[in-house]
Amino acid sequence: MNFRKGFYWLVIICLTNFSLAVHAQKSVMVLKSGWEFRQQGATNWNAATVPGEVHSDLLNNKMIPDPYYRDNEKKVQWVEKENWEYKTSFSVIPKTQKQKHIELVFDGLDTYATVYLNDKLVLEANNMFRQWRVDVKPHLRLGENQLRIVFQSAQNVVDSLAKKELPFIIPDNPRAYVRKAQYHFGWDWGPKLTTCGVWKEVRLEAYNKNPKEKEYVPSRKVELVQQPDSLGKSFYFKIDGKPVYMKGANYIPSDALLSRVTKEEYEKVIKMAKDANMNMLRVWGGGIYEDDYFYELCDKYGINVWQDFMFAGAMVPGDEAFFDNVREEVKYQVKRLRHHKSIVLWCGNNEVDEAFKNWGWQKKMKMSKQDSTRLWKDYVRLFQDSIPKWVKEVDPTRPYISSSPLFGWGRKKSYSEGDSHYWGTWWGLADIEAVQNKTGRFVSEYGMLAMPNYSAIEKFTAAEDRHLFSDVLKAHQKAGKGFTKLNSYLNRYFIDSTKVEKMELKDYTYLTQCLQYYSLKNIIGIHRSKAPYNMGTLVWQLNDCWPVASWSVTDYYNRQPKAAWYAIREAYRDDIVPDIDLTRPIDLKLENPNITWKRRGNKITLKATNAAKYVYVEIEGYTGKLSNNYVDLEAGKELKISYEGRLEKPVIRVTSLYDVLNRYN
């Protein structure tokens, strides 16, 4: 008995020493507690969350109103003009201090950050997308250590940089000077919340010998085939030797405040893509290189990723410091992400090539030929010469393209070569049917705007805001002439425009979602009918970053589907050839469908005496996803719709296109 007990303890001691020895190779302390923040120059410190950003910390401390509610966005613009300080403390034990190397590691600092350890300057950072490492052993103390970070206003910095370049200014926005998520400076679907903060993990790493980097072994072979043919030049993906027709959407960051994007939120968004029969997401270049978990989910669900580098719609500085900064960013991000089998393409930027050639910057800014030439040379040097070289050094097998699209949608070649962003519909106010003659080889952007779900509108408005076209609604409609364009399409496809201004907001919301459903169903149907000439269709856009009228097919709140999500799910099915409607809803002869319904368990059975279009089932307060919605009913036939979970005495409302239009006849 004593022998066995002694042997037992010997094994325990050996195992313990072994684990300590392994652990001693590299000890890691994550610094996530005890953080405080303040406006620079203020006396009081307030509780902060790391990872996080200043707007969330201000909101959590009730120092600003919710920027997503009503028109509060404009009430918090002062935040971006101030500098902010963050601090915490941590303890170092003798065992840690004895290690040869001790580094502070910041996976993400947003963006102009000066770091002090025990009041000694140890780091100056200027790129949100880089990991920053600094050896701090000379500055560490046994026991308690103080870490402080000062964030300079990114808006103030870029404004200053732009002024220094006068009279030569980089179009189209000072944001071009900073390596920060471009959508933070506002977009035509997002708020202007130019944040700062410790947006990713901070840790102390101690080790004697730097662990050897794992050798990268590429994984499912990827080719981008661009071969001349009788009609132009192909653009399609081969994966493991097989051509794949890509069906998907563009992905933007799922929140303007990135700390809110939890693993649960990622699951919801990626599942919405998977459940809509998508096999590709394009990570758009005005956002961020996404969290590892995003790509893990894409790997898991078989969703291919088109990965933009983070440049969108603006030219770039040509100085060496900027290029050096981008080089480190590209190499870090590609090495971080390259093991994900889901990534099938690296793309230099979103719409910069097209913008420079087609958007009229030179004329608008009265740019000299010399300045224009200099800008273009800097562009070519970065996106056509440098980035592909840097990518190849760390990921030699995946394809790279310099810009998306290759040609602008007003150019004939955009329909026969490269990928295309077709915005003749919406921005060009072209009829939806125009897509028949405007389908490119791979359409990587197109869309139709719609209002968010009415349940979302109720969350961000007060009762007095819920009318067309209230100031608060306008604050949540960022698209240029958005309501004017929506009304133009409604007039052509659903209802005479003279009746629009008399409409209840809820009815207007319903009709815009029917419009988006009709548009995307038909456009996808046209694209797919042209395979193999066309080998990809990516809707703009899958998701929203706040509650807003946009091109998204899902809502910000609870990631609930909008009407068009159901259209996409059907149009992207592999087992059918999607049909095309060439009858417009406005031309239909609708009769009262006299819809009846009954509920049993979690199923709702619908029936109509006459054919019904866009039958919308609404369950008051329900935040899940219905199995189907905005359905067409055949006269006399039953159709069952189910919902997730159990609801006690749900309040159910059923609306059809006839019901809404009949109210205004």
What SS3 state is found at 80?
Answer: helix
Confidence band (pLDDT; 50, 70, 90) for 167?
Answer: low
Average pLDDT value for residue range 515-536: 97
What 3 state SS string does 187-224 have? ECCEEECCCCEECCCEEEEEECCCCCCCCCCCCCCEEE
Mean pLDDT of the chain: 93
pLDDT at residue 73 in the model: 98
* Higher per-residue confidence, 218 vs 155: 155
Residue 350, number of CB atoms within 10 A of its CB: 28
Task: Calculate what percentage of the chain has a pLDDT beyond 90.
Answer: 87
Kindly tell me if the per-residue pLDDT of 104 is higher than 60.
yes
Degrees, nearest 5: CA angle 374-377-379:
110
Rounded Cα distance between 518 and 178, Å, is 40
Q: Which pLDDT tens digit goes with each residue over 16-56?
A: 333 333 344 789 999 999 999 999 999 999 999 999 999 99
Given CA atoms 389, 390, 396, 398 in this order, what sign does their dihedral have?
negative
Largest CA distance in the chain: 96
Q: Which pLDDT tens digit goes with each residue over 185-231?
A: 999 999 999 999 999 999 999 999 877 777 777 777 999 999 999 99
Confidence band (pLDDT; 50, 70, 90) for 8?
Answer: very low
H-only helix segments in 26-77 = 54-60
17 φ, ψ to 5°? -65, -35
pLDDT at residue 3 in the model: 42
User: Which range among 243-247, 446-450, 575-579 shows the weakest confidence by mean pLDDT?
Assistant: 575-579
Under 8 Å CB-to-CB from 464, ≥6 apart: which residues? Answer: 470
Average pLDDT value for residue range 238-260: 97
Q: Which pLDDT tens digit goes with each residue over 276-318?
A: 999 999 999 999 999 999 999 999 999 999 999 999 999 999 9
pLDDT at residue 485 in the model: 97
Which residues on neighbouring strands pair with residue 283, listed in sequence order? 251, 307
- DSSP letters, 415-438, are GTSSEEE--TTTTT---GGGGGG-
Confidence band (pLDDT; 50, 70, 90) for 10?
Answer: very low
Rounded Cα distance between 663 and 561, Å, is 26
Q: Which pLDDT tens digit goes with each residue over 118-141?
A: 999 999 999 999 999 999 999 999
398 φ, ψ to 5°? -80, 145
pLDDT at residue 268 in the model: 97
DSSP state letter for 55: H
Under 8 Å CB-to-CB from 534, ≥6 apart: which residues? Answer: 439, 440, 441, 442, 443, 527, 528
Kindly tell me if the per-residue pLDDT of 77 is higher than 50.
yes
Q: Which pLDDT tens digit goes with each residue over 641-653?
A: 999 888 888 999 9
Kindly tell me if the per-residue pLDDT of 168 is higher than 80.
no
What SS3 state is found at 15?
Answer: helix
Q: Which pLDDT tens digit goes with each residue over 315-337?
A: 999 999 999 999 999 999 999 99
Confidence band (pLDDT; 50, 70, 90) for 578?
Answer: confident
The CA distances from residue 448 to 423, 425, 550, in Å, are 9, 7, 8
Structure tokens at 643: 């919902």
Rounded Cα distance between 260 and 51, Å, is 10
The CA distances from residue 74 to 68, 78, 473, 485, in Å, are 10, 9, 14, 24
pLDDT at residue 171 in the model: 76
Amino acid in position 204: L
* Nearest in space to 237 (alpha carbons), one of 398, 408, 415, 420: 398
What length is written for the chain?
Answer: 665
Average pLDDT value for residue range 441-455: 98
484 φ, ψ to 5°? -60, -45
Amino acid in position 650: P
Amino acid in position 550: S
Q: Which pLDDT tens digit goes with each residue over 606-659?
A: 999 999 999 999 999 999 999 999 999 999 999 999 998 888 889 999 999 999
Q: Which domains does the chain have, with CATH numbers?
A: 23-207 (2.60.120.260), 222-571 (3.20.20.80), 588-662 (2.60.40.10)
Cβ pair 411, 423 in contact under 8 A:
no
Whether residue 460 is preceded by a cis peptide bond, meaning omega within 30 degrees of 0, is: no
Q: Which pLDDT tens digit goes with each residue over 265-284?
A: 999 999 999 999 999 999 99
Total H helices, total E strands in the chain = 17, 33
- DSSP letters, 337-395, are HTT-TTEEEEES-BSHHHHHHHS-HHHHTT--HHHHHHHHHHHIIIIIIIHHHHHHHH-
Cβ pair 327, 306 in contact under 8 A:
no
Cβ pair 556, 546 in contact under 8 A:
yes
Structure tokens at 76: 């918090």
Confidence band (pLDDT; 50, 70, 90) for 174?
Answer: very high
The CA distances from residue 194 to 149, 182, 363, 439, 523, in Å, are 18, 9, 29, 37, 35
Following CA atoms 316, 319, 322, 328 in sequence, which dihedral angle do they give, to the nearest 10 degrees? 120
Degrees, nearest 5: CA angle 393-398-403:
95
Residue 549, number of CB atoms within 10 A of its CB: 23
Average pLDDT value for residue range 389-394: 97
Rounded Cα distance between 346 and 602, Å, is 44
Average pLDDT value for residue range 399-403: 97
Which residues on neighbouring strands pair with residue 204, listed in sequence order? 29, 104
Which residues on neighbouring strands pair with residue 306, listed in sequence order? 282, 345
User: Which range among 12-21, 83-92, 102-111, 646-655 shows the weakest confidence by mean pLDDT?
Assistant: 12-21
